Amino acid sequence: MKDISIYFQPVDFNEIVPGTIGADVLIHDDKGFPELSTNGVAIFYVPEFRNSNIPENNQYRDIFRYQFYNLFPGDNWDFSIYDLGIIIPGETVNDTYFALSQVISELIKNNIVPYIVGGGHDLTMACYRGFESLEQMINICTIDYRLDLGEPNDEISSSGFISHLLMQRPCYLFNYSSVGIQRPFISKKEQELFNKLFFDICRLGQINDDYKVVEPFLRNSDLLTIDFNSIQNVHSDSSLYNNSNGLNSQQICQISKYAGLSDKMSCVGVFDINPNQSENASSLLAQMIWYFIDGMSQRVGDFPIGSRKNYKKFHVDLEDFDDDLIFYKSDKSNRWWLEVKYQSEEKSKYDRHCLVPCSQDDYNNALKNHIPDLWWKTLQKLT
């Protein structure tokens, strides 16, 4: 493993309470950088705000650590939890992007999940670049109240980076899901572009109707980024955040748990966090981290790649449709997948994407002769 310690500043923290998470975390402090082994999760802070609307703060105030360390671990947390410290912003934003992408790449290669607490949401670009060395198509999910699309010719920003991501070559992006969208904050043009690209939009109203609707999007994703502004400000800090609507604290923690449960989820970033964090906002962030790690501890390894003989297979015969729709149900978790058959010379390139996470409702609707939208969208991207 390459030496990534050169990118980090240590954490100054000595108040460890026996029995708490802090007693188990391998911390980068004045004693040195922790020795990294395979498997686990690595938390670190990246206070890069130059492309955001948040004023720069050289104090690097990260009190979420104190909140997190003083929580108690869950059951079966039998993997390492690292606190790598702080990635100090480089001379330019691109220098920070480079450092972050290098760190993410090395951690993912060693099956360590990076959990980035950051500055602007534009750091999603650096996270994406961290996957490029894997040379495989990936899926991204963002939790946000708007579509941070922007224009390719404009400067990248925390509110406009997706267009820049789409212009990356070679392109390793297969699907992009935006969850928690509030319709007043997206333009018709942005929505039409997402539809043309067969990307996914899950509105806040859908989540309020049934929060379980978000689970398949997270199970299908390799990278999750969360805009802290997607949380209703009464649940975060109304003095620092201005979203009067949005996800509540229970919903964002449930989303974090679903992300942890996902076998594919390899990297998480929580961005647009104001460095002047209050106790309330830091406490919520600490619990989001807790629920993600607790989800990781409950992974069952049921992503159906390779042999599917241990999965229940369901054929659905549709009117005016040549082939049956094929659904799979895991005997470990009772979760569902939908198979999308396709012919391509690059079949191996898309093997990870021909089985799409879905819900039992998708299966039930197929029985009523309704083809799930996710089947059409996936087929269009595959072909």
- The single-letter code of the amino acid at 111 is N
Coil, helix or strand at residue 353: helix
Asked if residue 29 lies in contact with residue 84, where contact means CB atoms within 8 angstroms, the answer is no
Q: What is the pLDDT of residue 236?
A: 78
Q: Quote the CA–CA distance of 203 and 181 in Å, as a whole number.
A: 5
Q: Where in the chain is the domain with CATH 3.40.800.10?
A: 5-297
**Cα-to-chain-centroid distance, residue 200:** 14
Q: What is the pLDDT of residue 241?
A: 78
Ramachandran sector of residue 81 (left: φ over 0; alpha: ψ -120 to 50; beta: rest): beta
Q: What is the pLDDT of residue 276?
A: 75
Q: Quote the CA–CA distance of 97 and 130 in Å, as a whole number.
A: 9
Asked if residue 183 lies in contact with residue 171, where contact means CB atoms within 8 angstroms, the answer is no
Asked if residue 87 lies in contact with residue 7, where contact means CB atoms within 8 angstroms, the answer is yes
- The single-letter code of the amino acid at 166 is L
- The pTM score is 0.94
Ramachandran sector of residue 330 (left: φ over 0; alpha: ψ -120 to 50; beta: rest): beta
Coil, helix or strand at residue 160: strand
Show the tokens assigned to 372.
Answer: 């799930």
Asked if residue 180 lies in contact with residue 246, where contact means CB atoms within 8 angstroms, the answer is yes
Q: Quote the CA–CA distance of 273 and 12 in Å, as a whole number.
A: 20
CB atoms within 10 A of CB 296: 25
Asked if residue 88 lies in contact with residue 49, where contact means CB atoms within 8 angstroms, the answer is no
Q: What is the pLDDT of residue 344?
A: 58
Q: What is the pLDDT of residue 295?
A: 98
Q: What is the DSSP string of 72-84?
A: PP-TT--S-EEEE
Q: What is the pLDDT of residue 292?
A: 98
87: β partners? 8
Q: What is the pLDDT of residue 2?
A: 87
The DSSP bridge pattern shows strands 112-118 and 267-271 to be: parallel
Which residue is listed with tokens 């898309």?
350
Residues of the chain with pLDDT under 50: none
Domain boundaries 5-297, corresponding CATH code: 3.40.800.10
Helix (H) or strand (E) holding 26: strand 26-27
Q: Quote the CA–CA distance of 321 and 17 in Å, as a whole number.
A: 62
Q: What is the pLDDT of residue 289?
A: 98
Residue among 76, 85, 81 nearest 22 (CA): 81
Asked if residue 278 lies in contact with residue 237, where contact means CB atoms within 8 angstroms, the answer is yes
Residue among 298, 299, 292, 304 nearest 356 (CA): 304
Q: Quote the CA–CA distance of 113 and 104 in Å, as a whole number.
A: 8
Q: What is the pLDDT of residue 266?
A: 97
Residue among 106, 367, 141, 83 nearest 268 (CA): 141
